[in-house]
Amino acid sequence: MKLLLLQVSLLLFLLKTTNGEVLFSSLPRSLVVVASAMEGQVLKAGEDSITVSVGLNQTVTNQTDESFKKVKVKLCYAPVSQVDRKWRKTHNDLKTDRTCQYMIYDRPYDGKVEEFKWDIEKDVPTATYFVRSYVYNDADEEIAYGQTTNDKKSDNLFVIQGISGRHMSIDIASACFSAFALLSLVGFFVIEKRQSKIKS
Amino acid sequence: MGEVASNPEKNDRKFALPVDSEHKATEFRLFSVATPHMRAFHLSWISFFACFVSTFAAPPLIPIIRDNLNLTATDIGNAGIAAVSGAVFARVAMGTACDLFGPRLASSSLILLTAPAVFLSAIANSPAAFLMVRFFTGFSLATFVSTQFWMSSMFSPTVVGTANGLSGGWGNLGGGATQLIMPLVFSLIHSSIGSTKFTAWRIAFFIPALFQTLSAYAIFFLGQDMPDGNYVRLEKSGEKHKDNFSQVFYHAITNYRGWILALTYGYCFGVELTIDNIIAQYFYDRFDVNLHTAGIIAASFGLANLFSRPGGGMLSDFVARRFGMRGRLWTLWVVQMVGGLLCLLLGKIGSLSGSVAVMLVFSVFVQAACGLTFGVVPFVSRRSLGVISGMTGGGGNVGAVLTQVIFFRGSRYSTEEGISLMGVMIMCCTLVIMLIYFPQWGGLFCGPRKGVTEEDYYLSEWSAAEKEQGFHKMSMKFSENSRRERGRKGAAAPVQSDPPTIV
């Protein structure tokens, strides 16, 4: 019976991917992902780092990791950071899915429990995140995943605080040029007034 | 012929171009920078271009800015609406300022007043700050009015459509050019100087800000209000009467033609502004092109202004030679209607190449309609030319605000539905052109009233007391020069027979 179920699910899975379209809903949760970022923790982009470890999910019994060739770990937006932001929308079709936009690491799969420390890059924006990992087969298609949060993506989320991008020099230049423009305007009026006095 | 002008030196003054009795140029020479006419042209289009670049500097960098400032789609939409709404009243105010202080001072002042908003965009840190800087930067689009006013002061009725169309069109070009300039400046700063993305976009904003500031300086020191000098000097010597604000304003708002043109301009220029704000996202979302490609498509819409708006202005002047004002009105009506039809079609097309093709043809028609509108505006009023130009220009922005609020906000309509519905609205609002009637020249369906002259129309803006003091002299000259708007057939029609124009 189990074998039949496995064959049917494999067949369905293959059917879904025959046109190159990989659907997230078709992927088994075969991986366990653990991140050092705790629930509600606030990390700083450009300063802090996250340590992630990825391993095979021992509780899912009827699977084999023979077809796992590559593993990628990504930083993904939590639902609260996707609200009213179409450019971060979750789609079932992984080609158009925009949930996970930052790569933590991208390595060939070697069967061991992988642990990796990632320095949060400066262009990561302020938002609430979780970590997800995909494994790929030879054809570079996703075949399984794992993530640090639950299915509803409501658990174990953390916040990253992005950099502002402002520097003291920009602030000063901005203020000075603005003042210069306004003073020039005053200057123009003074010149005009003088012109009208000369002509009379 | 007629009375000799009071100042004999004036008649001896030599201009580089041939001029009429108001010393407005009767020819347009694009590659000349001769004072004062062509120089005014180049100063006005370049400064207006700079303001357009600043106002639409944010849209191409939105993907970076939205992450830096944690913007939602609503924040972005609101900022886009804010960017075009400030100019609604600023344009009317600018019209008044031109009538009272002259286009040179009015435009250079506004440009310098709004330059700080562009400089301060570099330090915006929240959605509210972003909205504020876009709002105040948008005020600079009022330089459109000073541009048109200045051209109408420097160029004779035979070429005013061309001058207005070229200066307006090449200014609008900034809205397209910025979609290419800003990403380029951004990537130069990001890769060459090595700044992070969130710093690079901030530094990038200094470029449009500096360009804008420099253009204000150029206008002030190199420009001149009228062919004979600046308002300040002309008022002192008595050649120009310093007009009364409330009278100028009154004669503008009581002229129904100004209101009609304000409405119709909202549905050619307003539509152009709306498209500037939404078209990149439309192509990105519906056809799955990447942001870079979407930006290029968006830019090509605005870049069509290089020839399409000027083309509209030239077409207006061309049809006026044979058919006069009635020709100008008919051409405007037809071109804007076709524009509406194409807009309706744009939303219905499902293929990428089809959409781009329709969009390009649509851009030509809608921008030509803008040029054609300002072929009519200079004739609506002589005394209140500035306020009428301001009302029409402001109406353009009102159209942009309305269409974005009704069709492109929230998720009531999909973007393609919004575009088609906007096309329907264009066609409905263009119908009112049928109501425009000039007693001395006619309207779409009716010919001119017998015995009515240009002087009757333009001098009605002055009271008997004002005429006694001789304040109306410029309107007299303008009436004479605008007689060509009768077209070839009307050349034999009655001319004002009262003194002092007896030959």
Mean pLDDT of A138-161: 90
Sequence-separated (6 or more) residues with CB below 8 Å from residue A19: none
% of chain B beyond a pLDDT of 70: 92
Q: How far apart are CA B277 and CA B412, in angstroms?
A: 18
CB contact under 8 A, A164 and B201: no
pLDDT at A54 over 60: yes
Quote the DSSP letter at residue B28. -
Average pLDDT of every residue of chain B: 87
pLDDT of residue B135: 96
CB contact under 8 A, A125 and B113: no
pLDDT at B7 over 60: no
Q: What is the dihedral of CA A169, B75, B294, B276, to 10 degrees?
A: -100
- Nearest C-alpha neighbor of A74 from the set A111, A129, A114: A129
pLDDT range class, residue B499, cuts 50, 70, 90: very low
pLDDT at B284 over 80: no
CB contact under 8 A, B198 and A122: yes
Question: A143 vs B13, which has greater pLDDT?
Answer: A143
pLDDT at B326 over 70: yes
pLDDT range class, residue B397, cuts 50, 70, 90: very high
Chain B nearest-CA distance from A164, in A, is: 7
Contacts of B97 in chain A (CB under 8 A): none
pLDDT one-digit tens code per residue, B15-30: 888 888 888 888 888 8
Contacts of B210 in chain A (CB under 8 A): 177
pLDDT at B494 over 60: no
Quote the DSSP letter at residue B448. P
pLDDT at B496 over 50: yes
pLDDT one-digit tens code per residue, A38-51: 888 899 999 999 99
pLDDT range class, residue B241, cuts 50, 70, 90: low
- Nearest C-alpha neighbor of B373 from the set B168, B173, B156: B168
Confirm if A149 and A157 have CB atoms less than 8 A apart.
yes
- Dig out the tokens for A195 from the structure: 């012109």
pLDDT at B9 over 50: no
pLDDT of residue B1: 36
Nearest CB partner across the interface for B109, out of A86, A126, A188: A188
pLDDT at B11 over 60: no
Mean pLDDT of B436-448: 90
Most confident of B234-243, B343-352, B406-415: B343-352
Mean pLDDT of B307-335: 93
pLDDT range class, residue B372, cuts 50, 70, 90: very high
- Per-residue DSSP letters for B256-276? HHHHHHHHHHHTTHHHHHHHH
pLDDT one-digit tens code per residue, A79-130: 999 998 888 889 999 988 989 999 998 888 887 787 889 999 999 999 999 9
Helix (H) or strand (E) holding B82: helix B73-101
pLDDT at B115 over 60: yes
Mean pLDDT of B365-386: 91
Lowest-confidence segment of A11-25, A133-147, B204-218 by average pLDDT: A11-25
pLDDT of residue A6: 61
**Helix axis angle, B160-188 to B291-303, nearest 10°:** 160
Tokens 């420009």, residue located: B223
Compute how many other C-beta atoms are within 10 angstroms of the C-beta atom of residue B420: 20
CB contact under 8 A, B236 and A199: yes
Exposed, middle or buried by CB within 10 Å (0-12, 13-18, 19+), for A41? middle
Nearest CB partner across the interface for A170, out of B203, B230, B288: B203
Return the number of CB contacts < 8 Å for A and B: 107
pLDDT at B337 over 90: yes
pLDDT at B500 over 50: no
pLDDT range class, residue B165, cuts 50, 70, 90: confident
Contacts of A96 in chain B (CB under 8 A): 288
pLDDT one-digit tens code per residue, B252-280: 899 999 999 999 999 999 999 888 888 87
pLDDT range class, residue B501, cuts 50, 70, 90: very low
Q: How far apart are CA B393 and CA B414, in angstroms?
A: 29
Alpha helices by DSSP H, listed for B102-255, are: 103-121, 127-138, 143-154, 160-188, 197-204, 206-222, 231-237, 245-253
The answer, as to whether pTM is greater than 0.90, is no
pLDDT one-digit tens code per residue, B400-431: 999 988 888 766 777 888 899 999 999 999 99
Q: How far apart are CA A80 and CA A97, in angstroms?
A: 16
Question: Residue type at B280?
Answer: A
